[in-house]
């Protein structure tokens, strides 16, 4: 069963049709929208500040979302995919963004819409990533603009796929209840 913990009377909340993996951890001031998914071994720690997530956000296996005490919040828009083992820390991520596997986005960074942060990239504190671009490297730099086909073919496709993957597990859980 997932570890869902209140912190100072603040309980995590999520919307309709969300998948919460049985071994993830969600603590404190965390609010997520509809059709979100928090995958195996992911950690969302809203203990030192708040985490706000829109609709259709997927936080993949081993990813961590956290903040800095009394300084930074994590604000995540709609249709955002946070890849396996990524770290999202006290930053703002707008709509339609892919945060690649193993990447790190630090405090006060802003990732604008229709952007890809490549696998393994490190977005330094305070960096602003313009919309419609791919950022890669250490530190992350803009490497090229994204075509509308890439937005649809990668960012939207992955977000939509994770809604489908979550349904697989919901169906298993419903079958177990009938069981």
Q: Which pLDDT belongs to residue 172?
A: 53
Nearest partner of 88 among 71, 79, 70, 76, judged by Cα: 76
- CATH number 3.40.50.1820 is the correct assignment for the domain at 3-178: no
Domain residue ranges in the chain: 3-178
Tell me the per-residue pLDDT of 38-81, one tens digit each, with 9 for 90 and over: 999 999 999 999 999 999 999 999 999 999 999 999 999 999 99
Q: Residue 88 and residue 84: Cα distance in Å, rounded?
A: 11
Which position has the higher pLDDT, 178 or 116? 116
Q: For the segment 74-120, what is each residue's pLDDT rounded down to a tens digit? A: 999 999 999 999 999 999 999 999 999 999 999 999 999 999 999 99
Task: Assess whether pLDDT exceeds 90 at residue 171.
Answer: no
How many Å apart are CA 138 and CA 112, to the nearest integer? 19
3-state secondary structure of 150: helix
Whether the predicted pLDDT of 175 surpasses 50: no
């Amino acid at each position: 069963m997932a570890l869902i913990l209140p912190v100072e009377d603040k309980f995590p909340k999520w919307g309709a049709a969300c998948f919460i993996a049985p071994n993830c951890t969600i603590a404190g001031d965390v609010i997520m929208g509809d059709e979100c998914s928090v995958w195996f071994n992911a950690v969302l720690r809203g203990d030192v500040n708040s985490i706000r997530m829109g609709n259709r956000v997927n936080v993949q296996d081993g990813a961590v979302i956290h903040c800095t005490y009394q300084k930074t919040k994590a604000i995540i828009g709609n249709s955002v995919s946070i890849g396996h083992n990524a770290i999202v820390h006290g930053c703002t991520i707008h709509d339609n963004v892919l945060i690649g596997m193993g990447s790190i986005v630090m405090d006060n960074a802003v990732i604008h819409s229709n952007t890809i942060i490549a696998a393994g990239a490190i977005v330094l504190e305070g960096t602003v990533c313009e919309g419609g671009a791919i950022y890669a490297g250490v530190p992350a730099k803009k490497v090229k603009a994204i075509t509308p086909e890439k937005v649809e073919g990668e960012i939207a496709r992955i977000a939509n796929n994770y809604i489908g993957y979550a349904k697989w597990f919901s169906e298993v859980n419903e079958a177990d209840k009938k069981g």
